[in-house]
Amino acid sequence: MRQIHISSYRPAGFAEKYQRLVADTVIPYQYDILRDAVPGAEESHAIKNFINAGRALRGEDTGDGFRGMVFQDSDAAKWLEAAAYSLAVFPSDELEREADAFIDVIAAAQDEDGYLDTRFTIKDREKRWTDLLEAHELYCMGHMMEAAAAYFEATGKRKLLDVMTKCALHIYRHFVEEGRDGYSGHPEVELALVRMYRATEERKLLELAKHFVDVRGREPYYFEREARERDWEVWGNDASDREYQQSHAPVREQQDAVGHAVRAMYLYSGMADVAAETGDAELSAACRRLWESVTQKRMYVTGGVGSTVHGEAFTVDYDLPSDTAYAETCASVGLIFFAMRMLEREHDGEYADVMERAFYNTVLAGMSLDGKRFFYVNPLECVPGISGAAATERHVLCERPGWFACACCPPNAARLIASLGKYAYGETHDTAFCNMFLAGEVEFANGVSLECSTGYPYGFEVRYDVRSGGRIAVRIPGWSRNKFTVELNGQEYVCEPEKGYVYIDAEDGDRITVTLDDAPRYVYASPKVPALSGKIAVERGPLVYCFEGADNGGDVLSLSLRRGGRLRAEKFDPNMLGGTAVISAEALRTADPGALYTSEEPERTPVTARAVPYYTWANRGVNQMRVWMPAE
């Protein structure tokens, strides 16, 4: 399977609401952030850095020089990528002019040899390629390569693609032709190079991606040697922490997801890309092994990954605390990248199930409903007065900030949402795949075209009106495998899912109707997860629900759910939290005994607890929140 072209999907319904929010609010807001035009927000300086790098190359005064994180270029690259996707769906002369003007600035910041990184062009020019562990040169260039490929795909304009091809060939000369040691401290360039290869058909780019995958983790260990040879550093990262950088073993020998979660997801995505292009069975098997480690032992019910603030990292199997969870937004974006690549490799609904879980829960929760505030960390429990205050929970916030000094997550969420159609729909030469239920019109390169109508994720009937027929594969989510129906032109279509998909040979004018299970349900964790012993969560469709103080008298901590108690989905309310459906649950409220500890059994009162989708939390001020509730 391959993704559809970005312009092949015209959104409607829930997807259109979010993609228009990105187009109309998020992209303009983030552009203003990048050019430091939002009063009170953390200064970005990202666009100014490119301007100043161009001045440095022309021998002019660089003014205020370079400012921001060493990877500040990547914020601008991800914004540009999001803008490209948005232009493909919602053409805008103004946005295209802004993007073209910025591309001119980027091109002027490229060194004659192809190098492109504003930090090292403005200052420390002699230190280029000497701190791959921390300096993020390959990471920044990788993100700009992704932006270049996306902009070319969306607009047909080659200027940035040519700039980044020149940059990629510079990297190839340095690491392959000249034989310099090293690979990325923060993986990203690997998947970007494969994407550039697919856009340009320049074989050296695929060769370079494979090179970076192949040399990672081999002895002698590069980062320790690099650290001994240089007399400077960015943050003082421990070069001997091999798991943190996923270089503790050659990638084909790695067994478990370890280290920095975002880096892991990007690396595994790049590995899957290289395996797909080269037919490397051993590399493909490693991807499957790592996938199982992530999704079967180290993933939150929300699709969040990375359970500790220490290193923003994976820890060990089944260590999934709710209150100190890290679950960075970027890590779930990366998990979706990895899932899509695994789905392209093997048509199995398991991958789309995870992709959908991560999107509707952690990724959407990473952005406020108005598109102007963002979470970096996505906890599954928040208690004002402890969260953000206790030393162990200072990373956990109960409200989204407007921006961050380290602002990788906001533009990452924007580019994912803006390109969602490419994840929802895929194709082979003879089959159109419906991986996620996004309303709108879709035209596949294999000749199939259809219109999807649905109220998903709150409506559970999905209708496909087939305009141009062919073989269509519709995913049946894992949570609905025991209760679903498929109709073709009003008649029951008897079928058994094949690895999570039903396959239908449809003709022009046919209507396919899929009806999924609309019942709210309890979710139980494995007893191997110590943090969740005796707790249950609530889901409906793809949505994980949470209990907020705003809906429960300000106090969630005294609530426990009745085990086996009735769950009821209330009617969809278009005026609540941007349009949502509340779930009510039978619960008990425990009275406060007035003492820290007591030997007397506390009084419990039957109550009705109310839950809202996790992605909507923290949009009504600071209040308590829990996903996993005690059960009695």
Please check whether residue 216 is in contact with residue 225, taking contact to mean a CB–CB distance below 8 angstroms: no
Helix (H) or strand (E) holding 537: strand 535-540
CA 319 from chain centre, in angstroms, equals: 21
User: E strands of 541-603, at which residues?
Assistant: 543-548, 559-561, 567-569, 583-590
Where do runs of H (alpha helix) occur along 398-511? Answer: 409-418, 421-424
Question: What pairs with residue 443 in β-bridges?
Answer: 449
- φ/ψ (deg, to 5) at 516: -105, 170
Kindly give the residue spans of alpha helices, DSSP state H, lying in 109-155. 118-122, 137-155
Alpha carbons 109 and 160: distance in angstroms, whole number = 12
Torsion of CA 22, 26, 27, 32, to 10 degrees: 170
Helix axes of 72-89 and 93-108: crossing angle, nearest 10 degrees: 150
The whole-angstrom separation of Cα 456 and Cα 556 is 28
Q: Quick count: other Cβ atoms within 10 Å of Cβ 597? A: 5
DSSP label at residue 174: I
> What is the Cα–Cα distance from 615 to 363, expressed in whole angstroms?
8
Q: What are the φ/ψ torsions at residue 463 (nearest 5 degrees)?
A: -115, 130
**Could you tell me which of 136, 29, 50 has the C-alpha nearest to residue 101?**
50
Q: Residues in the chain, how many?
A: 632
Q: Residue 197 and residue 199: Cα distance in Å, rounded?
A: 5
CA distances from 539 to 173, 523, 545, 569, 582 (A): 51, 7, 6, 10, 11
Active site residues: 312, 408
